[in-house]
């Protein structure tokens, strides 16, 4: 059995041509412990909790584990959803390095629609009736707020005077709306309604990075997809990453699954817009949720960050810029949802403040993020280690596969 497991690992590494590979024991991993990951993932597939998944672990620049399970193949294309945010963050920081903006610049310097913002408020009158209104914002939104989700923008938005979501009126409710307008129009619409909090006062996950994507467009003079392709995807060799999947690659697009409503924990194919959305170039290209890609593509992206901004002789960012990105920029600011206990937040990444604070296996300074359908990555500078895990189950909350993958990867470290 041990021989078979070692053979399986060596075969899977042989296919990882994009990044160099190494035997697990030469990189400080136990092969037996790594093989436990596949046992768990095959169980999820057999039990009907997943239709497929893929995962990659690398250390010191060498891939030590690369496996697929169920229907997934090495070149399966998945919907990255919010893993797009890290790409947008890198795009913006490339312009930052060119001196195009400062993190403390007002966003309105580049996007004037944000010059005079208001903040939604809620109170109760003497009769106990809820009253909704807005007041002028106390300070302007800064570029840094876009990266760290402290703009006052979220995905739900405030309520109007009747208690109805204002984002519904501007067709921006939900984070990835099916609309015919572009990013420029979407950002103007977001700026036309009140914020949910005062800028700079609270981490509230939402449309901040989408506005950052629009900042990239305005400063660079290029649509976001063009900037990504020319400045990030092509230089890094991310050949299957884009904002949609061309027809020639449709057979490789993962089926988007959703949990059945019967409480069984089983999944079934999602229907409608979410399933078909990425087969055509969208009008609205969201820097916070819009990309697709493969296991190897995203592994190249996070390897570049682990290496201080460079990969295979191609440098996208300087080392100190990457350090700035994965520093904690929240400090003691309060946070609303999604950010686990013991994590701060950098410039588009959650940052581990220490295993004793996060109650997770890992390292202080490890940084990560994920996507709405269960995709996830992490980067650990102390261990010089990366991990990428891909599924497409929306929402993935009932399936612990991603957390198990990361935990078991760390538990396989022996040196």
Domains of the chain (ranges, CATH numbers): 2-88+225-411 (3.40.710.10), 104-204 (no CATH)
* Environment class of 363 (CB within 10 Å of its CB; exposed 0-12, middle 13-18, buried 19+): middle
- List, for residues 228-274, the tens digit of each pLDDT value: 999 999 999 999 999 999 999 999 999 999 999 888 889 999 988 88
| Cα 28–Cα 32–Cα 33 angle in degrees, nearest 5 | 70
| Cα 338–Cα 339–Cα 340 angle in degrees, nearest 5 | 110
Give residue 63's pLDDT.
98
pTM as predicted: 0.94
Token pair of 220 as six digits: 């660079």
Token pair of 110 as six digits: 């580049």
Q: What torsion do the CA atoms of 289, 292, 294, 297 make, to the nearest 10 degrees? A: -80
Q: How far is residue 61 CA from its own chain's centroid?
A: 22
Contacts of residue 194, defined as CB under 8 A and 6 or more positions apart, other chains included, come to: 117, 118, 119, 120, 134, 158, 166
Question: Helices 208-220 and 84-97: crossing angle, nearest 10°?
Answer: 40
CB of 238 within 8 A of CB of 178? no
Write out the chain's pLDDT in tens, 415 residues: 444 344 344 444 434 447 999 999 999 999 999 999 999 999 999 999 999 999 999 999 999 999 999 999 999 999 999 999 999 999 999 999 999 999 999 999 999 999 999 999 988 887 778 889 999 999 999 999 999 999 999 999 999 888 899 999 999 998 888 899 999 999 999 999 999 999 999 999 999 999 999 999 999 999 999 999 999 999 999 999 999 999 999 999 999 999 998 888 899 999 888 899 899 999 999 999 999 999 999 999 999 999 999 999 999 999 999 999 999 999 999 998 889 999 999 999 999 999 999 999 999 999 999 999 999 999 999 999 999 999 999 998 778 999 999 999 999 999 9
Contacts of residue 43, defined as CB under 8 A and 6 or more positions apart, other chains included, come to: none
CB of 77 within 8 A of CB of 240? yes
* Residues pairing with 54 in the sheet: 68, 390
Of the candidates 90, 87, 211, which has an alpha carbon nearest to the alpha carbon of residue 150? 211
Residue with tokens 């893929």: 54
């Amino acid at each position: 059995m041990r021989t078979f497991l070692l053979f399986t690992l060596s075969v899977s590494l042989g296919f990882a041509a994009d990044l160099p590979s190494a035997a697990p024991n030469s990189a400080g991993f136990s092969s037996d412990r790594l093989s436990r990951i596949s046992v768990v993932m095959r169980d999820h597939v057999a039990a009907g909790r997943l239709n497929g998944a893929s995962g990659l672990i690398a250390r010191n620049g060498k891939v030590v584990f690369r496996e697929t399970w169920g229907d997934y193949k090495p070149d399966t294309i998945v919907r990255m959803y919010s893993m797009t945010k890290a790409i947008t963050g890198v795009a913006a920081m490339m312009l930052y390095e060119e001196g195009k903006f400062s993190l403390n610049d007002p966003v309105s310097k580049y996007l004037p629609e944000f010059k005079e913002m208001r903040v939604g408020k809620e109170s109760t009158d003497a009769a106990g009736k809820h009253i909704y209104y807005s007041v002028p914002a106390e300070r302007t939104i800064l570029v840094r707020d876009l990266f760290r989700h402290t703009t006052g923008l979220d995905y739900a938005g405030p309520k109007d005077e009747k208690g109805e979501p204002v984002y519904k009126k501007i067709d921006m409710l939900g984070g990835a709306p099916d609309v015919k307008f572009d990013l420029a129009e979407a950002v103007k619409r977001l700026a036309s309604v009140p914020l949910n909090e005062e800028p700079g006062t609270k981490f509230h996950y939402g449309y901040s990075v989408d506005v950052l994507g629009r900042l990239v467009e305005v400063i660079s003079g290029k649509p976001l997809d063009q900037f990504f392709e020319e400045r990030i995807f092509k230089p890094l060799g991310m050949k299957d990453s884009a904002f949609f999947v061309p027809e020639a690659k449709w057979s490789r697009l993962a089926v988007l699954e959703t949990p059945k409503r019967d409480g069984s924990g089983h999944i079934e194919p999602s229907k409608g817009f979410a399933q078909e959305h990425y087969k055509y170039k969208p009008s609205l290209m969201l820097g916070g949720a819009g990309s697709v890609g493969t296991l190897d593509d995203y592994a190249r992206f996070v390897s570049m960050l682990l290496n201080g901004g460079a990969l295979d002789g191609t440098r996208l960012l300087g080392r100190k810029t990457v350090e700035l990105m994965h520093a904690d920029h929240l400090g003691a600011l309060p946070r609303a949802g999604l950010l686990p206990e013991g994590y701060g937040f950098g410039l588009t990444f959650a940052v581990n403040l220490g295993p004793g604070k996060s109650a997770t296996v890992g390292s202080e300074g490890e940084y990560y993020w994920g996507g709405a359908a269960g995709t996830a990555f992490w980067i650990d500078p102390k261990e010089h280690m990366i991990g990428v895990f891909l599924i497409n189950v929306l929402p993935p909350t009932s399936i612990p596969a991603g957390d198990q993958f990361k935990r078991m990867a760390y538990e396989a470290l022996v040196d």
